Amino acid sequence: MSEIERELILSVLHDMKSGGMIRRHNRKSVGASLWVKRLPREGLDKPKKFKVETEDVSLKGIGFVSIRRLLKNERLVISIPYKEGGGMLVLSRVCFCRKLPMGGYRYGVEFEDQISNPSGLTSIPDKWLKIAGDAKLSDEILGTTAEAG
């Protein structure tokens, strides 16, 4: 077994457990691109928007892959479009980060709040901006085999 195959298997096993306990909510595999917007925080004054590739979703959160480095407890707004137009904005918090052997990062985020987004715009509610400013961020990466970039 190659090192990459070993890391992928360990990654899957790690995703099946959280803190040594079996996950409370079933995951459904999803392969879609979504727009994510970082909320302002110290050292990042202007919200940044970028695309992520989703891997799975549950009632309480979503897993995705990105080349961008995010911080644990950082708040993100995920834009979920509807086929008919409009959609939903979801406030999320980064719960874990793992550096992938092939490059990039695997994230797990927890849903915290949501609002309807009938116009399809990504205007962030003031109450979400305040929550983002209060977050205690960390640069924790789990299951790494290489230095974070």
pLDDT, tens digit (0-9, with 9 covering 90-100), for 78-113: 988 877 778 889 999 999 899 998 899 999 999 999
Q: What is the pTM of this model?
A: 0.71
Question: What count of other Cβ atoms lies within 10 Å of the Cβ of residue 26?
Answer: 8
Comparison of pLDDT for 77 and 86, the residue scoring more: 77
Q: Which of 29-33, 62-66, 89-93, 142-146 has the lowest mean pLDDT?
A: 142-146
* All structural domains of the chain with their residue ranges: 3-133
Query: What gap in Å lies between CA 103 and CA 100, rounded to an integer?
Result: 5
Indicate if the pLDDT at residue 49 is higher than 50: yes
Residue 135 binned pLDDT confidence (cut-offs 50, 70, 90) = low
Q: What is the mean pLDDT of the chain?
A: 76
What's the CA gap between 49 and 121, in Å, rounded?
12
Residue range 3-133 in CATH 2.40.50.180: no
Segments in the chain forming alpha helices (H): 3-16, 126-133
Q: Environment class of residue 52 by beta-carbon count within 10 Å: exposed (0-12), middle (13-18) or buried (19+)?
A: buried
- Report pLDDT for 92: 93
Both tokens of residue 146? 């290489």
Taking the CA atoms of the chain, what radius of gyration do you get in angstroms? 16
Where are any strands of DSSP class E within 1-143? 17-18, 21-22, 28-29, 33-38, 49-57, 61-66, 75-81, 87-99, 105-116
Band of the pLDDT at 3, cuts 50, 70, 90? low
pLDDT at 127 over 50: yes
* pLDDT over threshold 60, residue 16: no
